[in-house]
Structure 1
Amino acid sequence: MKIHYIDVGQGDPELIQVDGKNILIDVGSSDNKTLNYLKSIGITTLDYVIATHPHEDHIGAMDDAVNNFNIGTFYALQVTKTTKTFENMINALNAKNLKMTVPNTEDNIVVGNATLT
């Protein structure tokens, strides 16, 4: 397992690589630092993407991530109060016919021999 802590100033994303799979937690703001980093290490597919909450510093570039990478399963919370950033993310998912999975508190993501809870 390899964990990349990607310094974007605030709302720092993490890339977890385990058993040949890539798991991205958040993406940072819209300055594309995370996307540039992912591309620089040869990432083309994000098997799992987790958007923790709809703040700009956590999902500001999520629409760009969806547009620039092959996405497997996409997790995000259902929100009652939306933001423009969240709407951009949803629009990008819809444009690629990707479904947003809303996790339950008891859900686990099992990737090889690793379990994210």
Structure 2
Amino acid sequence: MTRERYQPVALNIDATRQRWSQNPAFRKAYAALADEFETLAELVRARQQAMMTQADVAASMGIAQASVARLESSAGSRKHAPSIATLRRYAEAVGCALVITLAPAAQSKSKGW
């Protein structure tokens, strides 16, 4: 039996997002999660600026690396939505402080945490 060689599918994230953004349902769903996406991106940015791996953060927080991975990818997940206490511990682990800001609705677009 001849085995087929694995051929990974090239994925261009920007092109894919641009193509999907043509769909009104996608735009609506994406907009509904914009704050979550921005918050999670901020977590990853802070970790990278601290020059830490997920394993480093996990060790500092006293949790498993898989838990940090789940936290950093939990956009829109009600099952894995982090608590403020967890976000605070993460912030401290990467040498930051957690700051939560409330703004009038008209100004709050894409402010995140």
- Give the TM-score band, short-chain normalised: under 0.3
Q: By percentage of residues, which structure has more helix?
A: 2
Rg larger for:
2
Q: Structure 1 length normalisation: TM-score? A: 0.26
| Structure having greater relative contact order (Cα 8 Å, sep ≥ 6) | 2
